Each structure stands twice: as C-alpha cells, then as structure tokens.
Amino acid sequence: MTGFLQQCFNGLVSGGFYALLALGLAVIFGMLGVVNFAHGAFFMLGAFGAYLALAELGMPFWVALFAVPALLFLLGMLLERTLIRRLTPFDPLYNFLLTFGLTLVLQDAVKREYGVQSQPYPRPAELSGSIDLGVFDYPAYQVFVLGAAVVLCTAVWLVLTRTRVGMVVRAATERPELTGALGVNVGRWVTPVFAFGVALAGLAGVLAAPMRAVNPLMGADLIIAVFAVVVIGGLGSVFGSVLAGFAIGVAQSLGNLYVPALSQTLIFIIMAGVLLLRPAGLFGREEART
C-alpha cells in the first residue's frame, strides 16, 4: 500500500509539469488557434535560463523562479508581435510549421553553444531534505513542485473564473468568434495571453531544472506527451487540460509500476480510448476549432 501511495505521489509531481505546460498550450490554442510546437523549447529555455543565471550570474533558484519566466514572457510578446501574428489569418498549419521550425532553431542554438550533455543544477538548500508525509518520507523539493503546480493552476483558474479580465480571456479562448461578435476586441488580448503561456512553460522549466537533466532536448522529450494530455483534456479546455495533466501523471506512474512494458505507450493508448468515446476530448466541445 505504501508503494502504491508513493507511486501516486510521484505521478502527481510529474502531472504538475504536464498541467503547467498543458495549461499554457490550451490557452494559446484556444485564443489563437495555434498549435504551439515550440512550447517544449520554451520549457527547455526556462531550465537552461535557470542554469545560466546560476552559472554566469550567481543568481539563486528563488530569484530565477521569477526572473526567467519574466524574460520568457517578454520573448513570447516579441515572437507573437513579429512572427505568430503575421500568420494567424492563414491556415493554422503555417503557424504549426513556424513553431516547429522555431523549436529546431532554439534547440540547435543551445546545442551549438553548450553541447548535448546534461548540465547539473542543484536543489535549493532549503529544500534539500525530506518531509514525513505520515506513511513515507518524500523529497522536500518534489513536495514543493507539486504544491507550486497546484497553487499556480488554482490561481490561474480563479483569475479566469472570478475576474472580469479572466472572463474576457476565457470567453475569447473558448468562443473567440462569438466573443468578437459581442464587441470584445479579442486581438487586444492575444499578445499577453501568448506571452503568458510561454512564461508558464518557462516556469515549469525552472521548476524542472533541479529534478531533471538540463539539456537541449529535454523539452522535445516532453512535448509529445503534453500534446496528448491537451487532446485528452479537450482542445481549448483550460480545466480539462489541467485535470488531464494530473490524471495522466498518476496513470503513467502506476503504469510504470504495474505494466512497465506499456510505460512508453500508455498515454497514447489512453488518448486513443478517449478519442473513440469523446472525439473532442473529456472536456472539449464538438464544435471547437472545426
């Protein structure tokens, strides 16, 4: 029983990364209709940004946790203004190809400068120990990551559901044409929403740096699974993406324990099953982006 609970906790921690990344992808897709393939590269830049901030500037983890996502927010605004916006009126395939190419450019730029070997990033000293959870001890940093993911997802959900700004963004995300028809300038919210999604990916990268190998391909290894999470949750559904992120994290972790032969394919088997029963995903709408 202890092993089962510990594996569930491992899954929730992994699911926290899925949820943060899927949240950004869902918001960007819902508002812009852009399948942002570069999301994994922004995740990688977040982790590398934390590593470089420490190695070159001596910036501690707690400062990097705010500074790096802020820089990626600015990068996201720049990319949306100069590249994404120009292709938005055309077939979504153009922006998909653009973000795919952007991924290759960013990955190769980092590989050219720092190679493909993983770079170490130490855990903050305050979170280097373990916490007694009652039935087992668990690394304090992983507990912090899970708590941060839950708090961030809850905070974003509250902003989206309890504030006027959130109401406009949510409406523009889930029903952009109808929102525009009601007189809301959807385009005004596009740049900050895209940048916010990029910043969330960067924040997830900073959180991942002390846990995972910091290397140029760390985002490429994760982005396909995150796309599957977004599809399972429902394209454009913020709530569905977050819930699916945590659920898939737990399912994968338990799968690794009980059916290790399917550890690499379990998420896609779940996705296929969900799509057979609900083609729009668990919380998606049939008419979304048809």
* Residue-range definition of the domain harbouring residue 35: 6-116+129-216
For 214: left if phi > 0, alpha if psi spans -120 to 50, otherwise beta; the answer is beta
260 in a structural domain: no
State pLDDT tens for residues 188-230.
Answer: 778 888 899 899 999 999 999 998 878 888 888 788 888 888 8
CA distances from 98 to 11, 42, 94, 278 (A): 33, 14, 6, 30
DSSP for residue 119? B
- How many domains, in total, are found in the chain? 1
Question: For the whole model, what pTM was predicted?
Answer: 0.88
Determine the 3-state secondary structure of 132 from DSSP.
Answer: strand
Contact between 191 and 77 under an 8 Å Cβ cutoff? The reply is yes
- Cα–Cα distance between 200 and 192 in angstroms, integer? 12
pLDDT tens-digit readout, 40-87: 899 999 999 999 999 989 999 999 999 999 999 999 999 988 988 888
272 token code pair: 């296929």
Residue 35 lies in a domain: yes
All residues at 6 or more sequence positions from 148 whose CB lies less than 8 Å from its CB, including other chains: 16, 207
